[in-house]
Amino acid sequence: MATTVTIHDEATAGGKTGECRVEIPESRVTIRESIRRRVEQEVRQYNDSTPGYFRGLVQPREAEVTLNGYKLRKQRQIDGEDQLARAVEAFENHRILVLVDDHQVDNLDHRIDITSATSVSFVKLVPLVGG
């Protein structure tokens, strides 16, 4: 039976900056799979409507950061596989933290139990200027 999980984006200073709801058909998934499902949903939503800005976990290629999200230089479909590779790379290079029920998970193959009460948060880390 599928479970819908609310995934939160959080700022390093605290507080939620966004959220999305992702349906997970399995009762146990890896962190890699949870990232994949989130990225697929973000890309699908963007590609179906191609709004002016992409609001997602990682910056698409040839896009610039704006206050409203990522602005593609030329409006186009986003490549889901490329976005997934970029998200996995960001996780592996500690640019994104994943918290499950307020505990940091640092292994893509770590399996988590999914229930409607499961809390999943993504924290994007921003490099310090000059350091």
Average the pLDDT over 87-96 and give the result.
Answer: 95
% of the chain surpassing 70 pLDDT:
96
Cα–Cα–Cα angle for 86, 62, 89, rounded to 5 degrees: 10
Picking from 66, 64, 124, the residue whose alpha carbon sits closest to that of residue 95 is: 124
- What percentage of the chain has pLDDT greater than the value 90? 64
- Residue pLDDT, tens place only, 56-76: 999 999 999 998 889 998 889
Helices (H), 11-79: 31-49
Q: Which of 44, 40, 36, 21 minimizes the C-alpha distance to 118?
A: 21
Q: Residue 33: its pLDDT value, please?
A: 95
Residue 46 has pLDDT above 80, yes or no: yes
pTM above 0.85, yes or no: yes
- For the chain, the straight-line distance linking the first and the last C-alpha, in angstroms and rounded, comes to 47
